[in-house]
Amino acid sequence: MPRAGIFPRAVDPGNSSSRETCIGRVALFALFIFTLGGCTVGPNYVRPPVDTPPTYKESSDFKPAQPADQSAKGKWWEIYQDPQLNDLEEKVSVSNQNIKAAQAQFLAARAAVRVSRSGLFPTATGGLAISRTGQSQNKALFSSTEQKDYNDFQIPVDVSYEPDVWGRVRRTVEASRSEAQATAADLASVELTLHAELAMDYFELRGLDAQRQLFDSTVESYEKALELTKSRYEGGLASAVDYAQAQTQLETTRAQAEDIDVQRTALEHAIAVLIGQPASTFSLASSPLKIPPPPFPAGLPSDLLERRPDISAAERRVQEANAQIGVTRAAYFPLITLGGSGGFDSAAIGTLLQGPSGFWQLAGAAAETLFDGGLRRGTSDQAKALFDKSVDDYRQTVLTSFQEVEDNLSALRILEQEAKTQDAAVAAAEHSLALSNNRYKGGVANYLEVTTAQSAALADERAAVDILTRRMAASVLLIKAIGGGWSVSQIPPV
């Protein structure tokens, strides 16, 4: 019910003077309410400061090439110039179920913004009511002049509105918008993670292809060595021990080659899941990894604040928590509601839409909580604590991002130097194996010396392939650490 002094009682629509007086008061009060609407309680948002180093420690010796700088934007995987990888990455964007789930979550968060924004507008309802009433002639105070039976036709319209005087709804909209933007950044983070995971699985699989190629060529050379040893044994130039050692070396290497297939099939199945395809229907032809990763820039540490979607998501949630403080503070102020109803009411449908059948009423009320047992105080303190937590999470995300970039910059630098050293070790092992084979053929050495040289050469060659695979993985992780070419400007408006 409206309170005295706020709005007059409902008046007869036929009394124009009373109606004009009422409308004038309503207009003045509405103007007062909307003037107050510019007040928004709660702290205005300021991005929390973070410590940002001027440059990366590990980037001093990292000199990328300019073409890679231009390529590491958007579809960053194209810098590897592998058509099959490009095709697989495109399928991730279209068919991966985790990405679809993240997209649905973003759409839900964007819809929540519209739900929150609806509080800025009045709510109006309308209807149609038809009834026929039969009165008891024996009821109290029944008058003989009254109709015993009568019809009632109504077209009512009700309007209710809660002016956002203290900014509660606006802060709620701000919080919902920030959450939607954070969810959009979460979607970008999921996409970046899955694209990077696919690239790492792909390069690891290609590294296994390179190892399998190495083992196949080694098995072939061991088979020739076994034939030679067998001929020497049958000719009395080699002992049975030499022949047995050659057989052992060959079968052991064959077993190691077959073990690679176990790892390769698991990676192949993982790639199938990433592109949204059943593992039983997917396969990749062998293609050994050969070329090292291309160089590309890491940029400046300050760039991470705009290029990492997880940092943007954390920062948006800081703003969301800040807006929630304003929502809780608005609870300390009176709740003002406006309402009105009107329409047509008549006993005969023929006169329902005529002027005398019209009715209307305006009302307003203000309510203030006098005692809540500490509810508002506790809610406000909770919102402040959650804001502090979101700031801490944001700063921790930034610190972790700097660490990931430094980790992979150092990995690329160290692995590049290790690859050069390992290449020298491979060359030395191959030279040693050639000498041992010549010594064995000349009868100077036994086959144990050959098998030792063979094992050393195979181990060094496998290590070289493993280093190349790790370099490719580190390059992918570095691209992921710097955001994969993503920018905060890509967050869609909500």
Query: Mean pLDDT across the stretch 47-59?
Result: 85
Question: Which pLDDT band, with edges at 50, 70 and 90, does 73 fall under?
Answer: low
Question: Which pLDDT band, with edges at 50, 70 and 90, does 77 fall under?
Answer: very high
Could you give the CA distance from residue 74 to residue 126 in angstroms, rounded to a whole number?
Answer: 51
DSSP E strand boundaries for 320-396:
335-346, 358-367
Whether 352 maps to a domain, the answer reads: no
User: 220, 141, 204: which is closest to 469 by C-alpha?
Assistant: 204
User: Left if phi > 0, otherwise alpha if psi is -120 to 50, otherwise beta: which for 169?
Assistant: alpha
- What's the pLDDT tens digit per position in 232-262? 888 888 889 988 999 999 999 999 999 999 9
Task: Print the domain residue range for 236.
Answer: 37-121+164-333+368-490
CB-based burial of residue 295 (10 Å sphere; 0-12 exposed, 13-18 middle, 19+ buried)?
middle
Do the Cβ atoms of 285 and 206 come closer than 8 Å? no
Question: Which pLDDT band, with edges at 50, 70 and 90, does 304 fall under?
Answer: confident
Could you give the CA distance from residue 279 to residue 298 in angstroms, rounded to a whole number?
Answer: 35
Whether 248 maps to a domain, the answer reads: yes
Whether 433 maps to a domain, the answer reads: yes
Tokens describing residue 93: 């964007």
The residues near 241 (Cβ < 8 Å, ≥ 6 apart) are 446, 447
Which amino acid is it at 377? Answer: R
Could you give the CA distance from residue 422 to residue 463 in angstroms, rounded to a whole number?
Answer: 7
Which amino acid is it at 208? Answer: L
Question: Which pLDDT band, with edges at 50, 70 and 90, does 493 fall under?
Answer: confident
Q: How far does the chain reach from its first CA to its final CA, in angstroms?
A: 38
Whether 205 maps to a domain, the answer reads: yes
Could you give the CA distance from residue 470 to residue 463 in angstroms, rounded to a whole number?
Answer: 10
Q: What is the DSSP letter of 356?
A: G
Whether 354 maps to a domain, the answer reads: no
- What's the pLDDT tens digit per position in 408-467? 999 999 999 999 999 999 999 999 999 998 998 888 888 889 999 999 999 999 999 999
Whether 126 maps to a domain, the answer reads: no
Tokens describing residue 46: 């300021």
- Whole-number percent of the chain with pLDDT over 90: 68
pLDDT, residue 38, reads: 58
Do the Cβ atoms of 322 and 43 come closer than 8 Å? yes
Could you give the CA distance from residue 66 to residue 77 in angstroms, rounded to a whole number?
Answer: 16
Question: Which pLDDT band, with edges at 50, 70 and 90, does 2 fall under?
Answer: very low
- In three-state secondary structure terms, 298 is coil
- Rg for the chain (alpha carbons), in Å? 39
pLDDT, residue 69, reads: 43
Query: Mean pLDDT across the stretch 40-48?
Result: 92
User: 316, 343, 478: which is closest to 404 by C-alpha?
Assistant: 478
Could you give the CA distance from residue 53 to residue 66 in angstroms, rounded to a whole number?
Answer: 24
Tokens 């057989």 appear where?
Answer: 247
Could you give the CA distance from residue 75 to residue 484 in angstroms, rounded to a whole number?
Answer: 8
Average pLDDT over the chain, rounded to an integer? 87
Cα of 422 vs its chain's centroid, Å: 39
pLDDT, residue 13, reads: 44
| Max Cα-Cα span within the chain | 140
Could you give the CA distance from residue 333 to residue 168 in angstroms, rounded to a whole number?
Answer: 10
- Whole-number percent of the chain with pLDDT over 70: 88
Whether 147 maps to a domain, the answer reads: no
Buried b (16+ CB within 10 A) or exposed e, 60-99: eebeeeeeeeebbeeebbebbebeebeebbebbeeebeeb
Tokens describing residue 40: 């928004």
Do the Cβ atoms of 37 and 324 come closer than 8 Å? no
- For residue 66, what is the domain's CATH number? 1.20.1600.10
- What's the pLDDT tens digit per position in 455-473? 999 999 999 999 999 999 9
Tokens describing residue 425: 């070790």
How many folded domains does the chain comprise? Answer: 1
pLDDT, residue 67, reads: 40
Whether 154 maps to a domain, the answer reads: no
Buried b (16+ CB within 10 A) or exposed e, 17-56: eeeeebeeebeebeeebeeebeebbbeebeebebeeeeeb
- What's the pLDDT tens digit per position in 94-148? 999 999 999 999 999 999 999 999 999 999 999 999 998 887 777 777 677 667 7
Distances (CA, A) of 238 to 134, 233, 438, 454: 123, 4, 14, 18
Q: What is the DSSP letter of 56?
A: -
The residue ranking higher by pLDDT, 344 or 297, is 344
